A and B are shown apart, each in its own frame.
Chain A
Amino acid sequence: MSENEPLLSVRNVEKHFPVTAGLFKKQVAAVKAVDGISFDVFKGETLGLVGESGCGKSTTGRLVTRLLEPTGGSVEFEGRDITHLSQGKLRPLRRDMQMIFQDPYSSLNPRHTVGAIVGAPFRIQGVRTENGVKKAVQDILALVGLNPEHYNRYPHEFSGGQRQRIGIARTLALKPKLIIADEPVSALDVSIQAQVVNLLEDLQKELDLTYVVIAHDLSVVRHISDRVAVMYLGKIVEIADRKRLYSSPMHPYTNALLSAVPVPDPKARKERERIRLKGDVPSPLNPPPACRFHTRCWKAQEICKTVEPPLETLASGHSVACHFPENAPVAAATAGEAGKD
Chain B
Amino acid sequence: MIATKILREKSVRGTASSLGAASKPKTKVADSIKHSVEKNKSTMKHWMNNGLPCGKGTERPGIIYNLRKRKSKLL
Q: Are A and B part of the same complex?
A: no
Residues of A within 8 A of B (CB): none
